[in-house]
């Protein structure tokens, strides 16, 4: 019986040693997997940091762009108004310059829309025909509009509005040869 117990004991010891070896192998595998997962997590963290930086840059650029548009005199307004002139313009039109005789605006609107818009606007003003020129006159602002041109540059249209201020009778020649 003792021999049997010794044999069993030897087998138990062998099995225990085998189990310990297998556990060590499993631990090594698990450590490798944990290192890999840890490396993957670090990579994910790096990707998230880069993504956060890119998103922040995009938000800042959009905020600056919107601030520029909000500060523009005309972009979110339907009229251009100064102490010299008050004229209706299409919404989403970007103000470029006003030298006192000509306003320059830019827009992405279609040329057909712009033509219809300004035709409708001018139809509401008084038309004066002088000997050499004609103009549209706005009595409320005492502004004469001589010409509105729309130039195409690929997708962006340039609108140029030539105007002057004064009394309609004085804007025609001295002999007052005009007709409404």
pLDDT for 75 equals 67
Residue at 46 is within a domain: yes
C-alpha 46/C-alpha 51 separation (Å) is 9
Residues 152 and 90 in one domain: yes
Instruction: Please give the residue range of the domain that contains residue 34.
Output: 1-71
Confidence at 158, pLDDT banded by 50, 70, 90: very high
Selection from 140, 123, 131, 119 nearest residue 171 by Cα:
131
* Number of domains composing the chain: 2
pLDDT for 71 equals 67
C-alpha 8/C-alpha 37 separation (Å) is 42
Residues 53 and 99 in one domain: no
Residues 167 and 90 in one domain: yes
Confidence at 29, pLDDT banded by 50, 70, 90: confident
Give whole-number Cα distances, 22 to 28, 33, 104, 180, in Å: 10, 16, 82, 106
Q: What angle do CA 16, 20, 22 make, to 5 degrees?
A: 115
Confidence at 160, pLDDT banded by 50, 70, 90: very high
Q: CB–CB of 135/171 below 8 Å?
A: yes
Residue at 59 is within a domain: yes
Give the model confidence (pLDDT) of 46-98 as tens digits: 888 999 999 999 999 998 878 776 666 676 677 777 767 777 788 878 888 88
């Amino acid at each position: 019986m003792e021999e049997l117990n010794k044999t069993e004991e030897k087998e138990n010891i062998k099995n225990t040693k085998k189990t310990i070896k297998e556990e060590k192998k499993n631990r090594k595998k698990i450590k490798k997997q944990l290192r890999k997962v840890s490396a993957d997590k670090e990579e994910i963290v790096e990707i998230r940091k880069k993504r956060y930086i890119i998103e922040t840059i995009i938000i800042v650029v959009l905020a600056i762009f919107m601030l520029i548009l909000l500060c523009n005199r005309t972009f979110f307004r339907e009229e251009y108004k100064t102490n010299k002139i008050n004229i209706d313009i299409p919404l989403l039109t970007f103000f470029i310059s006003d030298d006192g005789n000509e306003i320059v605006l830019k827009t992405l609107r279609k040329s057909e829309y712009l033509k219809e818009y300004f035709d409708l606007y001018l139809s509401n003003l008084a038309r004066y025909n002088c000997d050499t020129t004609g103009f549209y006159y706005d009595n409320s602002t005492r502004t004469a509009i001589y010409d509105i041109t729309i130039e195409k540059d690929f997708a962006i249209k340039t609108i140029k509005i030539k105007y002057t201020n004064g009394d309609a009778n004085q804007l025609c020649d001295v002999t007052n040869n005009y007709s409404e």
